[in-house]
Structure formats: C-alpha cells, structure tokens
Homo-oligomer: A and B are copies of this chain.
Amino acid sequence: MKRLDLFGLLKKDMNFIEEELYRSIDSTEPLINDTSLHLLKAGGKRLRPVFVLLGGKFGEYDLDKLKRIAVPLELIHSASLVHDDVIDDAEMRRGQPTVKSKWDNRVAMYTGDYIYARALSIAAGLPNPDIHRVLSKALVQMSIGEMEQIRDFFNVDQSVRNYLLRIRRKTALLIAVSCQLGAMAAGARESVNSLLYSYGYNVGMAFQIQDDLLDLCGTEKKIGKPPGSDMRQGNITLPVIYALEQPELRADLLAEIRRIQDGDGQGDARKAVDMIKKSEGIAKAEILADRYINKALNALDLLPDVKTKKTLRDIAHFVTRRSY
C-alpha cells in the first residue's frame, strides 16, 4: 500500500524516519531480521509517524526528538498488525503474504513481541515521564481492544456504539496519541496537545470506518486483499450493522453470515458483500465517517495558525476519499 504523498521538508524527514525504522529492527538473530524486514517492507501509509512530525510542528520541531516517538509508534502499529494477522488467520496484507502465512503463527507472535519490545526500548530514551504515561495508557487500551475483537467475532447483535468503542481502541487511540505526543515532544502548550489529540482521534475513527468500507467496496488490487475479508474473519463492521437494522434485509443477511461462519473463514462472502453494498449501510457509514472528519476539522480550526494546518486538513479530507 502506498505511502501518503507528502511535499517538501516532511517528505525528506519521512525518508529519514523510514531509514530509522529499518535501523531500529536490526538484530543479530537472522530469523527476527527476516520477519521484521518483511513486515516493514510490506509498507503501509506510515500515518502515525506523519502525525507525530506534524504534531511536532506546533512546538519546537526537533527531528531527533520526534523520531524517538515516530519510530516506536509505527513499530507498535506493525506489531499489532502481525498479531492481528494471527487472530484473523489472514494470508495477505497490503498485497503481500503475511508473516504468519510466509512463516507460521508462532514466528508471527514472537515477531510482534520483538518489534513491540524494540518500540519500547526506543521510547524509553525519552526523558519526559508524561510521554511514557500517555503512551503506556494507550497500549493498555489497545490490548483490551484486541480482546474485544475476539469477543465480537460473528456477533451480529452488536450495537453501533459497541463497534465505535472497538475501533476507538483498535485504531483511533494510537492515531490520537501520535498527534498528541508529537506536540508534547516538541514542548507545545497543553491546549495544543489536547486539540491535536482530538483531531487525531476523530481522523482515526473516520479512517477505520473508511477502511471497513473499503473492505466491502474496494478492489483487491487497491486494498491488497480480497474484498469481504472482514466478513470471512467474523469482523462485523459498521455497514453490516446498519444493513442488519433493515427489517427486509436482516433475515437473509443473517443467513448468509451464518453460512460464512460455518465455512470457517473459507466461505464465499460475495453474496453477503453484494447485499450490504445494496443496503443503506454504505451511505450511513459514509455519513458517520464524514461527521468524524468534521469534528477533526473543528479541532483543527481552534489550533494556532501554523502552515501545518493545511497538511492536516488535506489528510483529513484524504481519509474518507481514499480508495486504498
């Protein structure tokens, strides 16, 4: 999956962060090197480091300090993905075979453990105790979210609220603290940190809703995995929950979901995907994503008028318009 298009200084700094990412996972154990490199090379948008650097623009921008937040946050994100792939039994991610499919579940688990430990080891170099507090709280919430994911597999009776709580922990929190910690590391004012947190939180919510929409409406080429993967894995997302609320659809859709569930992840989700795409679920999820983006833009309006605001605004608009 492509990295974000970035211009000027940020592009140069992000290339530096990219190098630091590769350097950070280097070890003397060949297997760990291979799996970690494979994971990093599969790419990703590097959204969290971008947000750290942009957050840093609201204070004294110091790349050397910011890298010690940006690199760990991307590593933590990568570690959580490699563990998620074990849970979801996912063969492909970002158009590449996953660590669990190229090696096995055990190697994937320890790869995640290793990358996670590396992340913490880099973050440990930061002297500001508030940063450790914010980061570690987010990590606890994220890990609770992981377990909620298992709990909610194939749970067709979950509410929209339940879904939102789950993606909050799964995605939004880490993006929120990326923005916030970038500003904190740059010594920005408390009010600035909070507004950036709010911006990141709302962008993160919209980002995950859009991700879940793309899993239904995207093309395999663009999203790097077959559409309907979430359904096959039992991950009941927002458009599905909305579609299930339509009385004339509910019974048929429930039957399809049960059929997929009985297929143990191998079932064909195309019929269910078609039903949802024809339902109101897509439009309603898009509306909710837009509402989160508007909240993010509102937080942005209250921030000091630095040039970076335009980039953050562009990213917010990109989030719900992207097709990958």
Known contacts A27-B144, A146-B113, A147-B29; A124/B136 CB under 8 A: yes
The docked-state distance in angstroms from the alpha carbon of A134 to that of B278 is 56
Chain A binding surface SS class: helix
How far in angstroms is the closest Cβ of chain B from A312? 28
Q: What residues on B are CB-neighbors of A135 within 8 Å?
A: 124
Please tell me if the beta carbons of A32 and B144 are within 8 angstroms of each other in the complex.
Answer: yes
How far in angstroms is the closest Cβ of chain B from A89? 9
How far in angstroms is the closest Cβ of chain B from A107? 6
Please tell me if the beta carbons of B87 and A109 are within 8 angstroms of each other in the complex.
Answer: yes
Asked if A151 is at the interface of the complex by the 8 Å CB criterion, the answer is: yes
Asked if A137 is at the interface of the complex by the 8 Å CB criterion, the answer is: yes
* Copies of the polypeptide in the assembly: 2
How far in angstroms is the closest Cβ of chain B from A184? 14
| A115-123, A189-197, A210-218 - interface stretch | A115-123
Please tell me if the beta carbons of B136 and A120 are within 8 angstroms of each other in the complex.
Answer: yes
Please tell me if the beta carbons of B144 and A29 are within 8 angstroms of each other in the complex.
Answer: yes
> Could you tell me which residues of chain A, from 113 to 170, have a CB within 8 Å of some CB in chain B?
113-114, 116-118, 120-121, 123-125, 127, 129, 132-133, 135-137, 139-140, 142-144, 146-148, 150-151
Please tell me if the beta carbons of B129 and A117 are within 8 angstroms of each other in the complex.
Answer: no
Asked if A105 is at the interface of the complex by the 8 Å CB criterion, the answer is: yes
Q: What residues on B are CB-neighbors of A27 within 8 Å?
A: 144
Please tell me if the beta carbons of B143 and A83 are within 8 angstroms of each other in the complex.
Answer: no
How far in angstroms is the closest Cβ of chain B from A144? 5
> Could you tell me which residues of chain A, from 55 to 88, have a CB within 8 Å of some CB in chain B?
83, 86-87
How far in angstroms is the closest Cβ of chain B from A51? 21
Please tell me if the beta carbons of B113 and A143 are within 8 angstroms of each other in the complex.
Answer: yes
Known contacts A144-B29, A144-B32, A144-B114; A107/B150 CB under 8 A: yes
Residue of B nearest to A148 (CB): B29
Q: What residues on B are CB-neighbors of A118 within 8 Å?
A: 140, 143
How far in angstroms is the closest Cβ of chain B from A226? 21
Residue of B nearest to A28 (CB): B144
Please tell me if the beta carbons of B86 and A109 are within 8 angstroms of each other in the complex.
Answer: yes
Residue of B nearest to A89 (CB): B106
Q: What residues on B are CB-neighbors of A113 within 8 Å?
A: 83, 112, 143, 146
Please tell me if the beta carbons of B117 and A124 are within 8 angstroms of each other in the complex.
Answer: no
Extra contacts, 11 of them, besides A110-B146, A114-B146, A117-B140 (Cβ < 8 A), are: A31-B151, A83-B110, A110-B143, A112-B113, A113-B143, A113-B146, A120-B120, A121-B137, A124-B132, A124-B133, A132-B132
- Contacts A/B (CB < 8 Å), 5 sampled: A29-B148, A114-B144, A117-B140, A118-B143, A121-B137
